[in-house]
A and B are shown apart, each in its own frame.
Chain A
Amino acid sequence: MARTMAEKVWEEHVVRRADGEPDLLYIDLHLVHEVTSPQAFEGLRLAGRKVRRPDLTIATEDHNVPTQDLLAPIADPVSRKQVETLRKNCSDFGVRLHPMGDIEQGVVHVVGPQLGLTQPGMTIVCGDSHTSTHGAFGALAFGIGTSQVEHVLATQTLPMAPFRTMAVTVDGTLRPGVSAKDIILAVIAKIGTGGGQGYVIEYRGEAIEALSMEARMTVCNMSIEAGARAGMIAPDQTTFDYIEGRAHAPRGEDFEAAVEHWKSLRTDEGAVFDAEVVLDADELSPFVTWGTNPGQGVPLHAEVPDPASYEDPSARAAAEKALAYMDLAPGTPMREVRVDTVFLGSCTNGRIEDLRTAAEIIRGRRVAEGVRMLVVPGSMRVKEQANAEGLGEVFEAAGAEWREAGCSMCLGMNPDQLKPGERSASTSNRNFEGRQGRGGRTHLVSPQVAAATAVRGTLSSPADLAAL
């Protein structure tokens, strides 16, 4: 029978299947960070259990870490304790850790792919919802809770409830200035924050195939914002080229054998998805959010919507609440919305290509008066590469702050936060109330829009900038 890619990867990992029980799946790679792991390690200790496969586990410090003055101790004692706890746990249980100051330290979802640990056909989990990022390689990757983190540490498996499959097909070609971020924001606006609930999404079509690996990661990263369990993209030559030569990639004959297998993972001709959604890339334009969930977005050239225009009373109430929080009036052109801060970074858009794109727009220009621009590379390796390409200098010359790697202002667990009432244009993934700091207001944007907004001070696309 013709099968989808997600079904194939699932089948390859079933350790045990029994009537009336969820399938027990084997986990090929477990990524660990400081926030969702302490209680899991403590659970192992209390039960006298070990980590079954430390060699399939890797940890880094990302959520809490400061992005400046790395040599000073972490000022916040609670954050410091959490990071120190991770170090002790990794040491006690024999787990490889990339701590602050290490060249491989960074946002966990940037670190896995750059080390070549993320490969097609694998099952990958992490106590972080944006684990869906790794699906860009054709891996089945999902975020899990701390109980499941403990389960994977102890058994290297997870009992998993069955899923449904959804195809999101993006036909056509993206226009200049329109990016992967705009694709996924448009998908979420179309199907809603619950539209993907219970599904593994496979992104396909001409526009997806044309994307680089970095851009594919941006798309899969935000699958969770549509409520999906995971997002996947079929591996192809772009994928193989990205993996080849990386530290943990297979080599020589192994690589050839791996590629043969990876090619077999593609969804079979005639396989049936439980749901299908189609978008036309030619019709997409830069997209921005106006509300407090990622589904509340519009094209940049549009206006803040009027809650009265919603037929569904629950959506209307949500829009009214969101506009009150965001301090926006219906009908305001999005382009006139002024921001205080621009954040470029995160597991959504903190990779080298994102930095290159933004730097190209910023080069020779200045960050607008009164605007703070924070550029936070996804990993120290990304930072090193960006510096080698002179990108750091471009950001600094424009008046932006060029920081060290971490999750930073995406969720404000470290000192990088919005103040109450401050407004940001952010390349991150969530515009929830208070996400970037208590009382902060977030507009989700692409790196292109982030860079142009930094220059003009209002939500803008590169096309709005005066020629140099």
Chain B
Amino acid sequence: MTDISAQPMPSQSAAASIMVGSKGMKKRHAAEARFKAYGIVAIVFSLGVLAFMLFTIFNDGISAFRQAQLTFPVTIDAAVVDPTGTRDRNTMAKVTTFSYTKVLNNSIVAALLDKGIPQEKVSDKELGEMVSKSAPAQVRNMVLADPSLVGQTITISVFANGRIDGYFKGRVTRDTASRDSNVSPAQLDLADTLRDAGILSLGWNSRFLTNSDSSDLRPETAGLGVAILGSLYLMFLVLIICVPIGVAASIYLEEFAPKNRWTDIIEVNISNLAAVPSIVFGILGLALFINFAGLPQSSAMVGALVISLMTLPTIIIASRSAIRAVPPSIRDAALGVGASKMQTVFHHVLPLAAPGILTGTILGLASALGETAPLLLIGMVAFVDNYPGAPISGFFDPATALPVQVYSWASRSDPAFLERSSGAIIVLLVFLVIMNVTAIILRRKFERRW
């Protein structure tokens, strides 16, 4: 022992001790530290991008949920809205919104005079333009629903014009207004006065969620009502189309199908279908459901059939892996006590696989919710002003969907639609978060591990 210890230690053998650091070890530690750092950088980068995206969306979009409104008394002039004096709804329906515009213009001029607010440099016409172009229709509908209002003075609350609204949200400034042909700085000054006088107020805008789309002349009234309803119809139909087909297919493939070349081909094809670009399904849908089967264009039904084709492979793949995760011992035990193959599947395998199938389905639906490309070809990317009817016939009415609305607003010329577009993204994100959280909760609560 002594002579061994007496030998001069070679420098390398010192590295044999785990207590003493060596060059190689330092190198490996450094590599590990570097790798960790890369990981952290990657995560920080993705979080940064996500934060930036959310910040811009919320920054642009949150204002869509607030809206400038004007509240003032309107005198329903009988000579204008009911020139024949019959008070008959059908006769009065011949008076168009163009006449009601005059009623509103006269009323707001009178309201300012009444309150002693000077119009300054704003002409009567310009003052009338500060009211949304949706207001005449709003008053007309009120009058047609209740002809006794004719001749009376009622206090109503209508939207302010999109530019005036934009001024209170910081989108329009006096500087831009001086160059803008649709609004003048004098109108903005008057808007400030009206706000102080309590005629103009800025409040929560629930109509953003319920109104239907509107034309470029009145961005302030554009809402997501039709799109939300359309998306709900789509999701519901996709669910009832995909789940039975998807689960049946995956049970057959996992539990009953013989392992041969045919099932191999089917398996490869399912995986391939999951990777096919969604626009291809749109082309297929146009040819099959609209041109061949004659289903109505722009309807939620056709949209759901197309999206189902697209989502099915995802659901089948998720369901198969959930069924595969059920241990064979459970099948063996069931078969061992005399259950038939079908009883084994439906009494034991399927209930145990259900949480996994459900999670896969919800995640498949969530990705389908954000899909626009296939809808483009079947006419759902459109201006749809009327709400689709109640189920079941409503499934065949024209509708749009949330991502479609984001897309179509983003390409409108009036800058006020940018805010709407971001607002729609926020609503879409809320839908997606709800669906994904449901999927996580279901998985946490019901998933069993063996």
The answer to whether A and B come from one shared complex is: no
Q: Give the A-binding residues of B (Cβ under 8 A).
A: none
